A and B are shown apart, each in its own frame.
Chain A
């Protein structure tokens, strides 16, 4: 039973992390109509920045804050230099151009930090476990990821639904030309939205960094998951992205945990051990295919349009 609770918390943690990535993606997608494959690169860069800054300053939190700011700046620079020229183009152009950016960033990271991975050690006050329920301990760090992500999700909700900037973002998602005609500085708005998305990706990357190694290409696998989430949730819908992310986080984590046992009923131990992670990963894509066939607009389409 405690194992099940732990797996559920793991699923929640992974789902919330995916939400941070998917939120930026869905914002950029919904507002600028831009397919940004390089979003995973920003995730990777966030992790590398965090590892570097934490080593420099000697403080995990300070490193994380600096990394967040740096990723925001990188994101805004990417928008001004490259993305801005891609708005209004074909989706194929987006795919190709941002694919080029992935190659560029991967190689840039290799050039600066070398091909070997990095690690971001946790400070001792996070590297413990907390008694969540009587007789059940859970990693303090994973718990703090859940708390931070929930806080960010609430902040995003507040930002998008309750502030003037959020109003402009929502307006931009429903009709770009119109808010431009109404005198809003769309260029600046787009740069800010892209920067926000980048910072969210960077946050996801730096929070994941202590759990996994920081390495080149770490963004590529998770990027596709984030895309799946935006599509399942409905493109441009933050609420949809949130729910879909939790769903995918649970399927992935619980699938990995319990498929092995399920498969062992029918197959040998080795077969089950190899097939289980693959099958649970596959399940997510199957879910997306089913959603797309039955409800092409996603489960929770953005109310606009």
Chain B
């Protein structure tokens, strides 16, 4: 128990506590903008958690993860457009369609490896992008406005911003816990084994293809949930949310936070989006700072924020 309480976990939990207390601060200062920003951060953190599961633990370099954001989002958007506003229908459909998409594309993609896997996941994501852009009935390129957020039974009301924020946060905590449990289960250990040496895992009798595919579907489904949330957050869905640069953003979050760590994706999502916000406050040309910063992270800080926290702990211990 003492061992588990290292600096990374402490900072991770502290960050979650701070997120829980955020609406109190917002109430006190009346800064509505902060609540909107952090709702977005929390939702994208769920997406990052799901990507981290296959990328960090499973070693599957998916470059099409934003597709699930779009699929989850459009499931909500299209159902709402067709008059089905119940969240009890919308959300399960969002999860189910994401899971199915992950199952089909994963089954094909996992036959390839290395850079081909990157490209084929990208291809599938681009395909969904163009399919959605071609749906004239649902706005095509221009996107689709959602008139009414998902309806649940009273007291749950997603239009209440504070309540919606807490729902997203609760789902984020649940996702982090779920992934943590999976990663430390027999299944998760086999998955990590396949990442470090696929041939050896197969040699000792693990059907790694099935393990990886299951992991891929779990990640896709979880990201579909984030998609359903983000559609409710922005009241709008458009093909742009699954363009390949969005998938790039998710990868940045995961790597910036620290791949293959429990709280890494959360650190990454908070860091990237807060950094964006802060830099765009300093200069209109904030990406000119962010771009080289990413390069520096890749070159000099492989472990991301989580890795840096780990190093601090080692320093404290040894020095």
**Which residues of A approach B to under 8 Å, CB–CB?**
29, 35, 37, 82, 85-86, 89, 91-93, 95-97, 99-108, 110-111, 220, 224, 227-228, 231, 235, 270-271, 273-279, 281-282, 285-286, 288-289, 292-293, 296
Q: A96-B251, A292-B112 are in contact. Are A102 and B63 (CB under 8 A)?
A: no
Q: A220-B245, A275-B134 are in contact. Are A235 and B291 (CB under 8 A)?
A: no
Chain A to chain B: the 7 pairs with minimum beta-carbon distance, closest first: A278-B134, A100-B294, A104-B291, A103-B291, A274-B136, A275-B134, A107-B287
Q: What is the bound-complex CA distance between A104 and B292, given in angstroms?
A: 7
Tell me which of A85, A101, A273, A274 contacts B291 (CB under 8 A): A101
- In chain A, what residue has the closest Cβ to B118? A91
Q: Once the chains bind, are B120 and A286 in contact (CB under 8 Å)?
A: no
Q: Once the chains bind, are B115 and A235 in contact (CB under 8 Å)?
A: yes
- In chain B, what residue has the closest Cβ to A100? B294
Q: What is the bound-complex CA distance between A29 and B115, given in angstroms?
A: 10
Q: Once the chains bind, are A274 and B134 in contact (CB under 8 Å)?
A: yes
Q: Once the chains bind, are B123 and A285 in contact (CB under 8 Å)?
A: yes
For residue B126, CB closer than 8 A to chain A, the reply is yes
Q: Once the chains bind, are A282 and B287 in contact (CB under 8 Å)?
A: no
Contacts of A108 in B (CB 8 A): 288
B93-125 vs A: 1/0 string, CB under 8 Å? 000000000000000100110111011101110
Tell me which of B112, B141, B292 contacts A100 (CB under 8 A): B292
Q: Once the chains bind, are A111 and B285 in contact (CB under 8 Å)?
A: yes
Tell me which of A103, A231, A273, A285 contacts B126 (CB under 8 A): A285
Q: Once the chains bind, are B295 and A97 in contact (CB under 8 Å)?
A: yes
Interface residues on B, range: 35 or more
Q: What is the bound-complex CA distance between A122 and B264, given in angstroms?
A: 52
Q: Once the chains bind, are B61 and A97 in contact (CB under 8 Å)?
A: no
Q: What is the bound-complex CA distance between A85 and B292, given in angstroms?
A: 13
Q: Once the chains bind, are A285 and B127 in contact (CB under 8 Å)?
A: yes
Q: A97-B298, A228-B119 are in contact. Are A91 and B61 (CB under 8 A)?
A: yes
For residue B131, CB closer than 8 A to chain A, the reply is yes
- In chain A, what residue has the closest Cβ to B120? A292
CB of A267 to closest CB in B, whole Å: 8
For residue B81, CB closer than 8 A to chain A, the reply is no
| 14 CB-based A-B contacts, threshold 8 Å | A82-B295, A95-B61, A97-B295, A106-B287, A108-B288, A231-B119, A274-B134, A274-B141, A277-B134, A285-B123, A285-B130, A286-B127, A292-B120, A292-B123
For residue B252, CB closer than 8 A to chain A, the reply is yes
Tell me which of B63, B114, B133 contacts A278 (CB under 8 A): B133
Q: Once the chains bind, are A282 and B130 in contact (CB under 8 Å)?
A: yes
Contacts of B292 in A (CB 8 A): 100, 104
CB of B283 to closest CB in A, whole Å: 9
For residue B248, CB closer than 8 A to chain A, the reply is yes
Q: What is the bound-complex CA distance between A35 and B108, given in angstroms?
A: 22
Q: Once the chains bind, are A288 and B294 in contact (CB under 8 Å)?
A: no
CB of B241 to closest CB in A, whole Å: 15
Q: What is the bound-complex CA distance between A92 and B123, given in angstroms?
A: 17
